[in-house]
Structure 1
C-alpha cells in the first residue's frame, strides 16, 4: 500500500512562505477542487472542497516563485494527520497534503 495523493485545483490565496533558521523554506497554501453530482431531483450540483497543502525545500521555492492566488496547479504528495496546541492551549487536529511535486497548469 502507498500513501499517495494527486490533486488538480486552484489556489485560494497567495501561498505563505517561511524561511526556517536552517535556511530551508516551507510553503503553506490551500487548493480548491470541484466535483459535480446530480441530486435526487436530477439537478447538477457543484461541490467545492478545500485542501490544505504544505511543501518543503525546492518544492516550496518553486511555489514561492510561480504560484499566486487563483493559479491552477497540480500537486502530488502524501496525506498526513497531525495535532498542535493553539494560542488558547486547545488541541487542534489537521489533515493536510505534504506536496513532493508540483505542476504549474493553466495560463
Structure 2
C-alpha cells in the first residue's frame, strides 16, 4: 500500500529492549469530497509510522516534509487511563520517498547523501509532455 502525506512532527529514533533501532514519525493525509448537498468536506487521517531499516532516515524526516510511503497498515486499540476506548492507524513502512521540501529539508538531504545512506529519495516529478 502507498500513502502520501506530510509529517506532523520530526522523526524520532527509539531503541527497543532487544537493542534494535526504530524510527517513529506521524503522517497526515488530507482528502476531500462533495456531499449530497454539493458542499466540499475536508477530512484528515493520521498515521503513526515506523521504519526499521535504517535509523539514519530520521535526519531527513522533518515536520512538514511531503513523503510517499510504501508498506502495510495495521490498527491498534486500547483503553485510555480514563476508561475511554482509543484506536490508531499504524503504518509499517518499507520504503520512503521524499518529495521536494524546504531549505531545512534540502540541507538535511545533503547531509544524508554525504553519509552514503541507502535511503530512497526522489525529486518532484515535472508534468508529462502529453
Fold match, TM over 0.5?
Answer: yes
Aligned to 1:51: 47
For the 8 Å contact 2:79–2:86, the answer to whether it is kept is yes
- Could you tell me which runs of 5 or more consecutive residues in structure 2 were left unpaired when the two chains were aligned: 102-130
Aligned to 1:61: 56
CA distance in 2, matches of 1:20, 1:102: 22
Q: 1:84 to 1:105 in 2, by over 3 A?
A: same
Structure number with greater Rg is 2
Structure 1 residue aligned with 2:22, among 17, 23, 26?
A: 26
Q: Report how far residue 79 of structure 1 moved.
A: 1.6
Give the number of equivalent residue pairs: 100
Aligned to 1:38: 34
Answer yes or no: is 1:103 the counterpart of 2:97.
yes
RMSD of aligned Cα (Å): 2.6
- Could you tell me which runs of 5 or more consecutive residues in structure 1 were left unpaired when the two chains were aligned: none
Structure 2 residue aligned with 1:15, among 11, 14, 18?
A: 11
Structure 2 residue aligned with 1:6, among 2, 11, 17?
A: 2
The structure in which a higher percent of residues are strand is 1
Q: 1:84 to 1:43 in 2, by over 3 A?
A: closer
